[in-house]
Homo-oligomer: A and B are copies of this chain.
Amino acid sequence: MEDKLQQLKTKLAEITDLGQAAALLGWDQQTYMPPAAAEARGNQQAALGRVIQELSTAPELGKLLEDLKPYGESLDPDSDDARLIKVTARDFHKATCVPTSFVVEFAQVTAMGQQGWIEARQKADFSVFQPHLEKIVDLRRQYATFFPEVAHPYDALLDDFEPGMKTQEVRDIFSALRPQQVELIKAIASKPQVDDSFLYQPFDEQAQWDFGVEVITKFGYDWSRGRQDRSAHPFTNGGSIYDVRITTRVDPNFLSSMLFGTMHECGHALYGLGASPALDRTGLEGGASMAVHESQSRMWENLVGRSLPFWEHFYPRLQEVFPGQLTNVPLGAFYKGINKVKPGLIRVEADEATYNLHIMLRLEIEIDLIEGKLAVKDLPAAWNARMKDYLGVTPPNDVRGVLQDIHWAFGGFGYFSTYALGNLVSAQLWEKINQDLPDLDEQIRAGKFETLLNWLRTKIHTHGRKFEPQELVQRVTGSKIDPAAYMRYLHNKYGQIYGL
């Protein structure tokens, strides 16, 4: 069996290596690729994707996994090898349920869909995107039929991002959360508003960049295994645990974009860099799920990066870098400004209090589309009605409304809710961390992040994809994903800021 396990690992190493090559192609596409190379890059990605799909669904791989099943069950269930056999069998099952012809069609339709989405945005005309999205929704519904065992068709989609998670679970969590968030926002709206105008000034781009680098270097980002570049949309690229790159964007007239974007991506990267080297090249070196990934990025961005202790350390330095802009802004005013709550149209610009509402709206729309209750042509109206209902705002056009995110264009149904779940997990973890590290605030106030990072590494990062998200959260915090900690966090934070 040791021999078969070795064979399995060899096959997985090859698949992982090719996946890392594909990741680099993706990174390059968004950073340095010459514009005329887009079609060629599409062909390269398609060729690599075809090879990876073939290897991932090869009958010999299935045979090995079947042979290894009893052996895996005989091992310590938490051991790397037991989990490797189990998780790989799950991946293999999912991959083989989907016909190759579907995979090819889906790749083509979503490639065209992304073109259609770009064109629709340029023309501010949803009807340009509509036929593409209709095909994509059809294919997503078809995808669900490949998994007849699921209780709800949306479960099949969600599972790609949150292994083991069910639609009903997410709905229950969001149902508990929504009224509390809406109530909080109302309470905040009744109070005097905070001023954040100082964030909207000219800030030298290189100085911004350098400050961001200074911060994430202190966080513990390992530059020998990573780098930072610019891209239109910030992202983290997980090549291998020896190469986890981030990108950021720098707005010369708005400080928050670089500042919180850089910390956010660094959070993702620290997770990717923290997987146990024993999981390297097994396919288990990624994160447990998108929500757990997001819990890390949002933690460094918000729980750390928008906290008062953090700025007690970094604000004097930031004032030194931008004296003209910030000398007359005291720390307290800066802290309030970066935490201003204001219901808006755009998800990626939303504050911590309103963010999740953007997500709930999307989840409900996705479920309605997949259930067939909502037609794609009625989507803009449904979007705008819910925006009014949840956030009290109405998009002036679809570009700032239903066309704002690329996710549906690449077929990423099931993805959005991971953002909100990540927020919840980040707060659950934060409560646990503060129990384990009672002097955490003081450490942060001193610009020390090693203990925090080590805690995260030991409890979360090192495990890679060994555990399903609910299992991991349960193991670490003692309960499954639950909105209570996040609401406590919001009430506490905004209670202080807005004097609720």
Chain A residues in contact with chain B, CB under 8 A? 13-14, 17-18, 20-22, 24-25, 28, 32-37, 39-41, 43-44, 46-48, 50-51, 222-227, 229, 239-240, 242-243, 245, 281
Contacts and interface: CB of A to CB of B under 8 A. Distances in A.
Contacts of A243: 33-34, 36-37, 40-41
Contacts of A40: 17, 20, 239-240, 242-243
Contacts of A24: 24-25, 28, 44
A396 to B, nearest CB: 31
Interface of A is mostly: helix
Nearest to A226: B34
A43 B48 CA distance: 15
B28 A43 contact: no
Nearest to A51: B51
A377 to B, nearest CB: 31
A24 B29 CA distance: 11
A17 B44 contact: yes
B44 A224 contact: no
B21 A240 contact: no
Contact of A44 (B20, B41, B226): B20
Count of this chain's copies in the oligomeric assembly: 2
Contacts of A229: 32
Which of the listed residues A21, A33, A36, A240 has the most CB atoms from chain B within 10 Å of its own CB?
Answer: A21
Contact of A240 (B14, B37, B50): B37
18 contacts: A17-B43, A17-B46, A20-B44, A21-B25, A21-B48, A24-B25, A32-B32, A32-B227, A34-B224, A35-B224, A36-B222, A36-B242, A37-B239, A39-B242, A40-B239, A40-B242, A43-B281, A51-B51
A25 B18 CA distance: 11
A17 B47 contact: yes
A150 to B, nearest CB: 33
Given A24-B24, A41-B243, 17 more contacts: A14-B47, A17-B40, A17-B44, A17-B46, A17-B48, A20-B40, A21-B21, A21-B22, A21-B25, A21-B44, A21-B48, A24-B44, A34-B223, A34-B226, A37-B239, A40-B243, A43-B281
A41 B20 CA distance: 9
Contact of A47 (B18, B39, B41, B50): B18
B44 A18 contact: yes
A268 to B, nearest CB: 16
Nearest to A39: B242
Which of the listed residues A17, A20, A227, A229 has the most CB atoms from chain B within 10 Å of its own CB?
Answer: A17
A165 to B, nearest CB: 30
A246 to B, nearest CB: 11
A224 B32 contact: no
A240 B238 CA distance: 25
A307 B36 CA distance: 33
A158 B34 CA distance: 33
A123 B398 CA distance: 59
A277 to B, nearest CB: 11
A429 B37 CA distance: 31
Contacts of A28: 24, 28
B48 A18 contact: yes
Contacts of A281: 43
A10 to B, nearest CB: 11
A242 B34 contact: yes
B240 A34 contact: no
A270 to B, nearest CB: 15
Contacts of A46: 17
A122 to B, nearest CB: 14
Nearest to A28: B24
A222 B34 CA distance: 10
A59 B385 CA distance: 59
A39 B37 CA distance: 28
A47 B51 CA distance: 11
Nearest to A245: B34
A175 B480 CA distance: 79
Nearest to A47: B17
A33 B240 CA distance: 12
A225 B43 contact: no
